């Protein structure tokens, strides 16, 4: 069985304060707001799935979460610290406490898998022996230890996404951000990626914000758990949903839904109904 990454903060006292909090965020790019007065939070151990069609601001919101995009108004707090308006040099150590899986993986083609996964560690001049050990551990978690010395060009699309997840985990993140991790992948490969995300959620319990337009992925995450004895994702009993996984939905820059799967499928909002049916 592939063991989870061991975190140096794993035994620290658990806080009940939000890990990520948006307070009245508005973002525009010399035009109408892309995001308009958005407020929500991610609690410790919670996974939030952000739904919506292409072009409604999901990726912009995710980039606002770690300071890659600055809001016109409102504030963003990560791990209790307001990051709004901070200079890049101050944001860098904060980003080191989070892990981000970009759309389509965003690996460096000229670097090996080892150096892609360890990119931040290399920048920090971590000793080679420790780098190798931590990369092997991260790759083992995603089932790709054999790719250590390969280049991204020799990997399938799904394998590249799994390497991107390993890179996001290498720093023992306290928050994970996933930007459409299954976008462009076939259904079988998408399920493999979702199983990894469910594994991270249930074994390591890292709070997460996941952006997707794929309802199947979202429903799979809510209706399954990771069984460590079987080393596999298994369905929950019929009628049950994962208690720490909930939904958000954007439309035209507005947050139009915030709640559980139960509430989502029973929503009377016209746009929500059309999206899920």
Half-sphere exposure of 226 (CA within 13 A, CB side): 21
Structure tokens at 125: 């001049």
Q: What is the pLDDT of residues 84-131, one digit of tens each?
A: 988 888 888 888 889 888 876 688 999 999 999 999 888 889 999 999
- List the domains of the chain with CATH numbers: 20-97+175-276 (3.40.50.300), 111-172 (no CATH)
Q: What is the pLDDT of residues 183-238, one digit of tens each?
A: 888 888 889 999 989 999 999 899 999 998 889 999 999 999 999 999 999 999 99
Q: What is the pLDDT of residues 125-166, one digit of tens each?
A: 999 999 999 999 999 988 899 999 999 999 988 899 899 999
Helix segments in the chain, DSSP class H: 58-65, 88-95, 113-117, 119-123, 128-141, 157-169, 187-199, 215-223, 261-265, 270-276
Q: Residue 232's beta-bridge partner residues?
A: 227
């Amino acid at each position: 069985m592939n063991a989870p990454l061991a975190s140096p903060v794993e035994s620290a006292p658990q806080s009940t304060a939000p890990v990520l909090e948006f307070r009245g965020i508005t973002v525009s790019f010399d035009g109408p707001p892309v995001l308009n007065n958005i407020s929500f939070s991610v609690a410790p151990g919670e996974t939030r799935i952000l739904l919506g069609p292409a072009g409604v601001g999901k990726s912009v919101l995710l980039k606002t979460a770690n300071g890659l995009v600055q809001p016109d108004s409102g504030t963003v707090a990560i791990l209790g610290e307001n990051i709004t308006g901070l200079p890049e040099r101050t944001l860098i150590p904060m980003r080191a406490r989070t892990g981000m899986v970009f759309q389509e993986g965003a690996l460096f083609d000229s670097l090996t898998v080892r150096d892609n996964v360890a990119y931040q560690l290399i920048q920090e001049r971590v000793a080679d022996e420790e780098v190798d050990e931590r990369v092997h551990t991260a790759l083992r978690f995603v089932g790709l230890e054999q790719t250590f010395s390969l280049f991204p060009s020799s990997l399938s699309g799904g394998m590249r996404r799994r390497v991107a997840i390993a890179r996001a985990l290498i720093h023992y993140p306290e928050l994970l951000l996933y930007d459409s991790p299954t976008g462009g992948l076939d259904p079988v490969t998408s399920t493999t990626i979702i199983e990894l995300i469910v594994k991270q959620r249930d074994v390591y319990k890292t709070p997460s914000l996941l952006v997707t337009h794929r309802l199947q992925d979202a429903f799979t995450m809510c209706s399954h758990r990771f069984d460590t004895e079987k080393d596999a994702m298994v369905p929950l009993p019929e009628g049950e949903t994962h208690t720490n996984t909930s939904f958000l939905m954007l439309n035209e820059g507005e947050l139009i839904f915030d709640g559980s799967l139960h509430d989502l499928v029973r929503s009377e909002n016209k746009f929500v109904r059309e999206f899920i049916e």
